[in-house]
């Protein structure tokens, strides 16, 4: 099957994918973080990084921001671990549904800031192969694009998630099939759904790199055209 991905405008996207070398024995923690994955967090916010892909190609990462509210937490480190375990097990089903069987959900990691202190944890809950078909995986610069919109006007109020590890069967030339759009919409809705654990509530937020602000996400929608990641760079793990 031929595919002709249309280059996507990546000049202002806010949640970049990253690729990195991985070690089989290190799993999710072997992936080199992006700038958003390591930048200082404001108090009562969290960043969760999703890690997925295939053994033959460098893994993908999506960066998700959350505002965190709740009562006093006696053990924040355990709360962080519980949060990433819960998220990873639920996210696995959503990501696996859009990946071919040769790709897999690897896991997730979290950085949680409470009272000015950051807590980190990783999880491989739900790790396993994709369930979105047996077709070959598209080249790793191809991506489905899930657009985010807030109630803030201009570039600061919008962004996108680039979802890699795509099956060749998910598109007809450069257009996603109706079935794959439905699956990616389901993934986008999941990423825009909060969760509660250990007395903490995690509410998804859009991070604007332009003005370093965080906004509630009003809605998400999958772009029908196949996108590309022109700015992806190989990051080697030391």
Tokens of 178: 């109706």
Is the pTM of the predicted complex or chain greater than 0.95?
no
- Tokens 């890699």 label which residue? 164
Summarised one tens digit per residue, pLDDT across range 190-234 is 999 999 999 999 999 999 988 889 999 999 999 999 998 865 534
pLDDT at 135 over 70: yes
Give residues with Cβ within 8 angstroms of 40, minimum separation 6. none
> Other C-beta atoms within 10 Å of 234: how many?
11
Give residues with Cβ within 8 angstroms of 139, minimum separation 6. none
The CA distances from residue 28 to 25, 53, 59, 224, in Å, are: 9, 11, 9, 30
Summarised one tens digit per residue, pLDDT across range 162-175 is 999 999 999 988 99
> Other C-beta atoms within 10 Å of 109: how many?
25
Q: How confident is the model at residue 33 (pLDDT cuts 50, 70, 90)?
A: low
Domain residue extents for the chain: 19-235
């Amino acid at each position: 099957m031929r595919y002709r991905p249309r280059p996507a405008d990546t000049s202002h996207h806010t949640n970049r994918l990253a690729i990195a070398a991985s070690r089989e024995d290190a799993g999710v923690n072997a992936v080199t973080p992006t700038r958003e994955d390591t930048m200082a967090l404001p108090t009562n916010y969290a960043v969760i990084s999703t890690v997925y892909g295939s053994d033959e190609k460098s893994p993908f990462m999506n960066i998700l921001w959350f505002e965190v509210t709740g009562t006093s937490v006696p053990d924040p480190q355990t709360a962080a671990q519980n949060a990433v375990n819960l998220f990873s097990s639920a996210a696995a089903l959503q990501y696996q549904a859009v990946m071919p069987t040769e790709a897999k959900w690897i896991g997730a990691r979290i950085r949680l800031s409470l009272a000015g202190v950051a807590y980190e944890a990783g999880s491989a809950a739900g790790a396993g192969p994709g369930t979105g078909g047996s077709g070959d995986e598209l080249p790793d610069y191809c991506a489905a694009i899930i657009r985010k919109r807030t109630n803030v006007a201009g570039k600061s109020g919008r962004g996108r998630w680039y979802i890699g590890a795509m099956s060749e069967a998910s598109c007809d030339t450069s257009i996603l099939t109706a079935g794959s759009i439905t699956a990616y919409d389901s993934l986008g809705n999941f990423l825009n759904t909060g969760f509660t654990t250990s007395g903490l509530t995690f509410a998804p937020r859009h991070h604007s790199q332009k003005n370093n602000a965080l906004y509630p996400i009003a809605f998400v929608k999958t772009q029908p055209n196949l996108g590309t990641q022109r700015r992806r760079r190989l990051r080697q793990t030391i």
